[in-house]
A and B are shown apart, each in its own frame.
Chain A
Amino acid sequence: MTTDIAPDPAVEESHDDHGEYHQDMTFQPRANRIGLWMFIFSECFLFAAFLSARYYSTGTFRPEELNQLLALILTMVLLVSSISAYLAEVSIKYNHRRNFKLFTIVTILLGFVFLAGVVVELTEAIHHYPPGTPYGTSYFMLIGLHAFHVVSGIGALFIVLFLGFRGHFGSSDYWGVEGVVKYWHFVDLAWVIIYPTLYLF
């Protein structure tokens, strides 16, 4: 798993070649992985700050008007999108390019479905508990923060898809896919914590 990934071509070529000593570049795949995990860990702190703000200011209070059914459907959509993202990663690992593109497209579509649901959710919410109320403040902030991450995740998936159609990635060089899919799982996991915080407790 750690040895079958070629070094990032961008970093290799940024060092010119005069035939002298060069640092061994085999560290790069490991560095990419550790760097991404650190970024995700750092993001956890951001979500932790927002979640603690919610619990601090309103405890576990939630209003009656919440659209529980919609939220449950959205949760399912996002969880399923995590499976399709995983399938996309596995497909490129075994060089099934068709499946890789297919599952990436499915993931993007599910992401858009989720976003559409969030828009419906927020337009309902603004009538019942607008951002000036105790619950509405935390609600809009957490949903907004998460939706922002979903949007950036979809953007990254689009780049992966674009590069996939251009013929990039392969069984020995799929860090780009792997990184984006890990980020997508993280966005998913964040929702798994935000959903009960806002809807269930």
Chain B
Amino acid sequence: MKYVFRASVLAFIGYVVGIWLTVAIRGGSPTDEVAVVFGFILALIGWLGGIGGIEAFGRQWMGKKPKTSPEKGWTRYFEFSIDHKVIGIQYGVTFISVLLIGGIGAMLMRIELASAGQGILDLDDFNKVVSMHGILMVAVAVAGILGAFGNYIIPIQVGAADMAFPRLNALAFWLVPPVAIGLLGAPFLGSFNAGWTAYAPLSVTNDSGQILFNLAIITFGLSSILGGINVLVTVITMRAPGMTWGRLPIFTWAGVAASLLSFCVTQFFAAALILVTMDRVAGTAFFGPDVGTGLLYEHIFWFYSHPAVYIMVLPGFGVILELVPTFARKPLFAYKAAVIGMLTIVGLSVVVWAHHMFTSGMADFLHGPFMILTEAISIPTGLVFLSIIGTLWMGRLWFRTPLLLAFGWLFNFLIGGITGIFLADVATDIHLHDTYYVVAHFHYTIVGGSIFGLLAAAFYWFPKITGRMYNERLGQIFAVWVTVMFNFTFIPLFWVGINGMNRRVGDYPEAFEGANRFASISALILGASFLLFVGNLVYSAIKGPKAGPNPWNSRTLEWQISSPPPQHNFTSQPRIVGHPYDYGVEGSRYVVFDEPGSSVSDAPEEVHA
């Protein structure tokens, strides 16, 4: 706690000094946006300095030996720990907290929308709540699975002791709390009402809270890029002997695919927001009404933000593909097709961005190609579905909470995918654009694809991470509860959307009142289910029964070591001798462990079924 306290104090001092210096040199008021920018930058430096991040790198630059981080005790979760397991838990707790805060925003919106006319929020406040809910949830979806389970599980699944760049990993995590503080602090500067998309020119002219949004998300982008590079380099260089690319666990493949996207395209969101920030503080005019055009913002923004939805759902694919063979007790069907599908999605996702802009006034000849390319993405996604359903088919299904959530995932993402076709299609999109149909569609894909994956992953890897078992009964109740109420919430929104109810407006015609009230009541019940989720996991982490190393009889590497894993993950060198998902295949082995001290040649090279 000492370091977090020091970091907070230094961040505060940095913020005050930044503002004071700007005012002293330039004049003007302390709430000027230029002052806020310098305040934020110095606060960020103060935060990283206080937590020990600058020291971790700077000591080496000054030619000194690095400090070691502590190995035991709960305080290491509040320090600049370079252990990937600590960082994974830090990410997990942070993002589940952000998920709950974002959920409060969703509840506020649904309460406002429970009846036509003005309720608890006025129209501008409604937009601010929409924007806050949007960006918090997007952050959870982008980095939730990859941050928490990518960090915790991927190094173990490839047989490594840690990530390739442990300090960079810690830095990437400790950039996240300032993002959350910056976003949640925006209401003190008038909040932001331009949505999570922050379309210019509104984002150039609205309240100063927007500047905190920009700075926070640029920082978050840096964190994503560093995290993505780290995952990729880890998988490329640190795989255990015998782990060829064809034997890589499928969750690791999904992490690789998502990281390939995130380390490239995230720069475009940063670029878009840097341009908006410069328009606001430095007098440039990229999106101003006289010189520039908002269309430029939309192109740059969606070049990141469409691939971003695949950064969100690809890890979700990975989680479901990973756990389905375990609970169906069957080999993963069409492993290669699933991998090819995910990599094809990576390739296609960067050439479809303008399907968000069919009504924006861009050149007409772009409509056709972007429609075709977008619809083509359903083919590789179909391969992933083929793999999941083929694995479930004729399996001996073991209905535990993760599998129930996987079924919820499958249903929701299917609805999300099918309804997406009508948004990719130019003719129907012109009608459906900016209605609640779009809202319902992307909640089915993002909540269905990413958040359900996060929940399933949380239950699946809970015994590995904590060493204790969650309450199965309560877990199953939660899985059914969240799936059913999610559908009750969003199915009515398709109907009101098709009939023309606009998104991002806190009011609507009275004809939609019944459907909206039904959705609002369902949403509140859906929100309440997360209390059960958090309560179950928190209580079980402290008081739950011991789980043992491998409660699911799973074959991948992380289940072959004790729960929770030892300090450097493995006590002897793992060697991969088979395919990870050959459940029920006679005599198949996936991994053998070298006895400490034995020579390499003693280990069998290949064990056939």
Tell whether A and B belong to one assembly: yes
Report if B427 contacts A (CB, 8 A).
no
CB distance A45 to B268 under 8 Å? yes
- CB-CB under 8 A from A28, the residues of chain B are 164
- List which A23-82 residues lie within 8 A (CB) of chain B: 23, 27-28, 30-31, 34-35, 38-39, 41-43, 45-46, 49-50, 52-53, 56-57
Report B25-62 CB contacts with A as 1/0, cut-off 8 Å: 00000000000000000000000000000000000111
Residue of A16, A30, A52, A53 with most partner-chain B CB within 10 A: A53
- CB-CB under 8 A from B568, the residues of chain A are 15, 20-23
Report if B282 contacts A (CB, 8 A).
yes
Cα distance A52–B278 in the bound complex, in angstroms: 16
CB distance A39 to B229 under 8 Å? yes
Known: A14-B69, A21-B572, A137-B286. A56 touches B299 (CB 8 A): yes
CB distance B267 to A46 under 8 Å? yes
CB distance B63 to A163 under 8 Å? yes
Whole-angstrom distance from the CB of B236 to the nearest CB of chain A? Answer: 6
Cα distance A141–B271 in the bound complex, in angstroms: 11
User: Which secondary structure dominates where chain A touches chain B?
Assistant: helix
CB distance A35 to B233 under 8 Å? yes
- CB-CB under 8 A from B360, the residues of chain A are none
Tell me which of B288-296, B371-379, B485-493 binds A: B288-296
Residue of A35, A132, A134 with most partner-chain B CB within 10 A: A35
Report if A195 contacts B (CB, 8 A).
no
- CB-CB under 8 A from B254, the residues of chain A are none
Report if B283 contacts A (CB, 8 A).
yes
Name B161's contact: one of A13, A22, A159 (CB within 8 Å). Answer: A22
Nearest-neighbor residue (CB-CB) of B56 within chain A: A10
CB distance A31 to B82 under 8 Å? no
- CB-CB under 8 A from A127, the residues of chain B are none
Residue of B238, B266, B286, B594 with most partner-chain A CB within 10 A: B286
- CB-CB under 8 A from A57, the residues of chain B are 286, 291-293, 296
CB distance A168 to B284 under 8 Å? no
Name A42's contact: one of B165, B267, B283, B571 (CB within 8 Å). Answer: B267
Nearest-neighbor residue (CB-CB) of B283 within chain A: A131
Report if A1 contacts B (CB, 8 A).
no
CB distance B282 to A14 under 8 Å? no
Report if B608 contacts A (CB, 8 A).
no
CB distance B68 to A16 under 8 Å? yes
- CB-CB under 8 A from A166, the residues of chain B are 63
Cα distance A168–B62 in the bound complex, in angstroms: 10
- CB-CB under 8 A from A133, the residues of chain B are 285, 291
Residue of B225, B234, B237, B268 with most partner-chain A CB within 10 A: B237
Name B282's contact: one of A20, A21, A49, A140 (CB within 8 Å). Answer: A140
Report B389-424 CB contacts with A as 1/0, cut-off 8 Å: 000000000000000000000000000000000000
Whole-angstrom distance from the CB of B73 to the nearest CB of chain A? Answer: 15
Cα distance A67–B175 in the bound complex, in angstroms: 41
Cα distance A121–B22 in the bound complex, in angstroms: 25
Name A46's contact: one of B65, B160, B164, B271 (CB within 8 Å). Answer: B271
CB distance B267 to A43 under 8 Å? yes
CB distance B300 to A42 under 8 Å? no
- List which B213-232 residues lie within 8 A (CB) of chain A: 225, 229-230, 232
Cα distance A42–B268 in the bound complex, in angstroms: 10
Cα distance A35–B166 in the bound complex, in angstroms: 13
Name A53's contact: one of B60, B164, B267, B296 (CB within 8 Å). Answer: B296
Report if B573 contacts A (CB, 8 A).
yes
Name B284's contact: one of A20, A52, A137, A159 (CB within 8 Å). Answer: A137
Report if B66 contacts A (CB, 8 A).
yes
CB distance B232 to A137 under 8 Å? no
Report if B265 contacts A (CB, 8 A).
yes
- CB-CB under 8 A from B238, the residues of chain A are 23, 27, 31
Given contacts A52-B299, A137-B284, 15 further A-B contacts (CB under 8 A): A14-B66, A14-B82, A15-B568, A20-B571, A21-B571, A27-B164, A41-B264, A42-B264, A49-B271, A50-B271, A132-B284, A132-B285, A134-B285, A136-B284, A141-B286
